[in-house]
Amino acid sequence: MQSYILVLIQIIAIVHDALASSSLVVPVNKHATANSLYSTHAYFNYPQYHQQNLLIDLDAPFMWRSSFPHQEMCEACPNLVRCEEFQCTDLRTTFSYESPLCAPPTNNSMDDEYNYCEICPVNVISPVTGECSQVITTYDQFMFTRSYGGKNVIPHNLYVIYPTVGSTPTWTFDPFPSSVVGVIALSSSPYALPAYLRNPVNRIIALCLPSTVSTPGVLFLGNGPYYLNPESNVDIRSLLSYTELLKHPKAFGYFIGVNAIVIKNRSINVPANATTKISTLDPYTKLRTDIYNDVFRRFSRVTKRIPPAKLVAPFGLCFNTSVNGIKVPDIDLVLQDGKKWTISTANSIKQVMEDVACLAVVDNGPTSEHAIVVGTYQFEDNFLLFNLENSTFGFSSSLLHRHTSCSNFNFTVDQ
């Protein structure tokens, strides 16, 4: 009798946990490509129930993938968005990719097989090559795994969304890592994934990119708590500093206000009208030339005791690490409300060869659109939280200083 009650209590506890669990959790894989791309996966119902890998993109206006299901391939194909529907015009006019390389949107079919107005082709830009192409829009169905209170993965318990997705049967996604078939848009666009999250899963994205290709990092969708080993009782939210996410006209990505860059007590001013974007597609932080030059000068000065090495492209400052290894002063991004995002050696210096390491920051030219584009190398093993419910951005700085990393989520399915 007692054991029966115990089991009952355990079952109630599990059901309670599952209901209380308001976040979804998926692994994030780093690809061994030169430009360090990151992907995650979702489960799709079409053409048949299976898992597909999608490139993580904080900027993309909507999601898209290859393997558009031809009618013969599935019994219950997703519905096509027709060109006279509101979604089609909305996507084409307001929430689309924009590039001078793209032909202006038309209502022409991209494939003779389809009749005029049966389909809604929209332009997409390859985040890897910048090439423009067209996809057909469908009402699709994706699923994500849930987490047990931010600690484990719940078995057989999927969260379903019904997004509008661009699909194509022909696009080969050539420059993508081989297993990746599309783009998961995590931006603030109404056609990106966060917009489809519903109570109790809040429109909150927590992204923790791994620094290694061998162990995945983690993406949470929805409010925390979030836990990483070995401190299984420390909610990562308690380690975060918060600042305001800024709006940018005509962009769906995420912007923050950076007032200054501080290196060893010396402050480099960032002009008040400068914009700072966070990008999952740029491997290294890109600085407009005026800011790059100041950072370069200051960083060279504070590292003048470290023997230099021949430059390795695309970097402008490299060191010979054969004798002493390398440890450099922090680079602090001082944000508009005085909070500091600290970039320490693991995120500022990249070992490019056995005895050469470089400052992993690049010159973005004198007239770049954004003064600062924070690239992925600078936030691997940093926990970033994009809260679209209240437009706040949370960041941890390097988790390595907390003796954990983005590769420490326990993906063991809790049976």
Ligand X SMILES: *[C@@H]1O[C@H](CO)[C@@H](O)[C@H](O)[C@H]1NC(C)=O
Task: List contacts with ligand X (CB under 6 A).
Answer: 83-84, 89, 105-107, 152, 223, 229, 242, 264-265, 271, 273, 309, 320, 322, 355-356, 387, 390, 392, 410, 412, 414
Q: How far is the CB of 178 from ligand X (least distance, A)?
A: 30
Q: How far is the CB of 311 from ligand X (least distance, A)?
A: 11
Tell me whether residue 106 or residue 178 sits nearer to ligand X (CB atom): 106
Single out the residue of 272, 241, 250 nearest to residue 188, CA to CA: 250
By three-state DSSP, how is residue 238 classified?
helix
Q: How far is the CB of 20 from ligand X (least distance, A)?
A: 15
- Between CA 129 and CA 125 the distance in angstroms is 8
Single out the residue of 365, 380, 176 nearest to residue 284, CA to CA: 380
Q: How far is the CB of 76 from ligand X (least distance, A)?
A: 27
Tell me whether residue 94 or residue 322 sits nearer to ligand X (CB atom): 322
Supply 45's token pair: 């119902």
Tell me whether residue 1 or residue 272 sits nearer to ligand X (CB atom): 272
Tell me whether residue 83 or residue 251 sits nearer to ligand X (CB atom): 83
Supply 77's token pair: 């194909």
User: What is the Cα Rg of the chain in Å?
Assistant: 23
Tell me whether residue 89 or residue 336 sits nearer to ligand X (CB atom): 89
**Is-contact 64 55, C-beta < 8 A?**
no
Tell me whether residue 165 or residue 356 sits nearer to ligand X (CB atom): 356
Tell me whether residue 82 or residue 297 sits nearer to ligand X (CB atom): 82
Q: What is the 8-class DSSP label of residue 229?
A: S
Tell me whether residue 89 or residue 344 sits nearer to ligand X (CB atom): 89
Q: How far is the CB of 262 from ligand X (least distance, A)?
A: 10
Torsions phi, psi of 296, nearest 5? -60, -50
Supply 62's token pair: 């909507």
Q: How far is the CB of 319 from ligand X (least distance, A)?
A: 9
Supply 389's token pair: 């419910």
Pairing of strands 50-57, 38-44: antiparallel
Q: How far is the CB of 266 from ligand X (least distance, A)?
A: 9
Which class for 234: exposed (0-12), middle (13-18), buried (19 or more C-beta within 10 A)? middle
Distances (CA, A) of 68 to 12, 48, 73, 300: 42, 11, 9, 51
Count how many residues are written for the chain. 415
Q: How far is the CB of 119 from ligand X (least distance, A)?
A: 11
Please count the other Cβ atoms lying within 10 Å of the Cβ belonging to residue 244. 15
